[in-house]
Copies of this chain bind each other. A is one copy, B any other.
Amino acid sequence: MFIGYSETETFLRNCKDAVIITHQSPDGDCIGAGFGLKDILAELGIRSRVICSDAFPSRYGFLTDIGAGEEFEPQTVIAVDIADVKLMGRYEKIYGDKVQLCIDHHESNRDYAEKTLLREKATAACEIIYDLAKYMGVNITQHCAMCLYTGIATDSGCFRYDCTTPRAHEIAAEMKRSYKNINFAKINRYMFEVKSLGRMKLEAKVSELMEEHLGGKLAVIAVTQDMMKELGITPDELEGFAPLTIQLENTEVGILMREREPNVFKCSFRSADEVNVSTICQTIGGGGHAKAAGCTVEGKLEDVKKMLIDTVRKALC
């Protein structure tokens, strides 16, 4: 059942001993939403614990260092930024059918919880939680503000992407006026600029494999198993490299091809702006979102590449 701020407030003010579930492969938004909500519950005198199927990455330490919370038998189950119980990982079995409140911004939310506060237009779950705290008149501590800013910044690509709402900017403005001691630039640097030396050098090597096709409208990076062997990496270590393919000036579509098994290519498509890559991938047995989609294709490197180029050529006509 979908609910509004008023009913969410009533629920939160009356809950106790809450477990807050964040999604697997945690990112800035679910971590910020989880720990930000924990801070808000603490202001209400309610204890809570933030849990995740995977470990929180160390670069979010400035948010998670307060600790996930003490151990207790949960009496309230809340999910944040989770569209589908499958994304709970190992916690799906325990809590998948017991979620009482879900706070989310995904259009694809499966309405699995008893009550769901869904705002599909929001940039981030953290945007909803900020507005909820304001609605409830709860004090937003500095730590809570850092959590919520981090979520909004990460999901909006630091205010770069299409999904950045006017409200996201307004919240950032309000926070910058109210929390003079938060080093927002440092948060942004950790979220958007820094990488490990290994990652930097790997990115450099992968960039060198970039090919332009269709007069520059299509960029392809193909990484075979032989190349991975030479670079000393696994296909999983190339996770997150697909956006590199749409960094060229005239590129409309980018494809990262990874050979997962001999002659089996996982192909990740990205759209720079207007082309719907989900539609393209659907014609070759894949799918996804308009700006990020994928498919798996069997065949020899050159044959698969030729087929992909032909498919994109037709789509661009």
Interface set of A (CB-CB < 8 Å, partner B): 59, 158-162, 164-167, 169-170, 172-174, 176-177, 183-186, 188-189, 192-197, 200-201, 203-205, 207-208, 210, 212, 246-249, 251, 272-273
Contact = CB atoms under 8 A, between A and B. Distances in A.
A203 to B, nearest CB: 7
A194 B249 contact: yes
A207 B210 contact: no
Nearest to A59: B249
Contacts of A248: 194-197, 200
27 contacts: A158-B159, A160-B185, A160-B188, A160-B192, A160-B193, A161-B185, A161-B188, A162-B185, A164-B176, A164-B184, A166-B172, A169-B169, A169-B173, A170-B170, A173-B173, A183-B273, A193-B246, A193-B247, A194-B248, A194-B251, A195-B247, A196-B248, A197-B248, A200-B248, A201-B207, A201-B208, A201-B210
B172 A197 contact: no
The 7 closest A-B pairs by CB, nearest first: A169-B173, A204-B204, A166-B173, A204-B207, A162-B185, A160-B188, A166-B176
Nearest to A212: B197
A195 B159 contact: no
Nearest to A167: B173
Contacts of A173: 166-167, 169-170, 173
A44 to B, nearest CB: 28
A115 to B, nearest CB: 30
Given A210-B197, A248-B196, A249-B196, A159 B172 contact: yes
A273 B186 contact: yes
A186 B208 CA distance: 25
Contacts of A192: 160
A272 B186 CA distance: 8
A281 to B, nearest CB: 21
Given A166-B173, A176-B169, A184-B164, A204 B208 contact: yes
Contact of A247 (B164, B186, B194): B194
Contacts of A207: 200-201, 203-204
Given A194-B249, A195-B249, 16 more contacts: A158-B158, A158-B160, A160-B188, A162-B185, A166-B173, A173-B173, A183-B273, A185-B273, A189-B272, A189-B273, A195-B247, A197-B212, A200-B207, A201-B210, A203-B204, A204-B204
Nearest to A248: B197
Nearest to A172: B169
Given A200-B248, A201-B208, A166 B174 contact: yes
Contacts of A185: 160-162, 164, 273
A252 B224 CA distance: 36
Contacts of A208: 201, 204-205
Most chain B beta-carbon contacts within 10 A, residue among A164, A174, A249: A249
